Amino acid sequence: MTVISADQERQQAMAIGTAITRLHREHYGRGATTTRTVFQRNRVIAFLEDIYTPVERTLIEAGQHEDVKRTRQIFQMAMRCRFTAAVEEITGRKVRAFMSQVHFDPDMAAEIFVLEAEARSDHDGVSAALKGADGAEAASADAKNGSSRNITE
């Protein structure tokens, strides 16, 4: 097994958060305004805040929480391959399991990945993933322009 440094792990966490937010933006039409990604050992969790579209917010206000949750979960499972591919590209490790959950108050989601233990040492998916985010590194901006703030822990 190849051990990566804490700095490499932080870079990978940032790249994963950027990739997940970008996929949400591309396929939902809106990405989270804040993403916090935790990467420890074989587990990666991306916490996305302020995730709901205007249509979903309207449904939530009308008490249709379960419909929004069900639709989000169906969509997340349809996106499973894209999310998993992004994490595998960045880490150079196979994703063993992917889980997704949404919450309403506060408005957030968690994308959870369990990785295989072995890492490939000849892989540099971080720079490719960061470049894939509209040619720029993780950016801080407000929700109005569709960007997000990435915070790694």
pLDDT of 78-119, one tens digit each? 999 999 999 999 999 999 999 999 999 999 999 999 999 864
pLDDT of residue 125: 52
**Structure confidence by residue, pLDDT tens digits, 47-88:** 999 999 999 999 999 999 999 999 999 999 999 999 999 999
Q: Tell me which H or E stretch contains 83.
A: helix 80-91
**For residue 109, which of 26, 27, 10, 33 has the smallest C-alpha distance?**
33
**For residue 89, which of 128, 121, 118 has the smallest C-alpha distance?**
128
Does position 142 have pLDDT exceeding 50, yes or no? no
How much is the pTM? 0.76
What does the longest C-alpha to C-alpha distance in the chain come to? 51
pLDDT band (50, 70, 90) for residue 15: very high
How far apart are the C-alpha atoms of 76 and 83, rounded to whole Å? 9
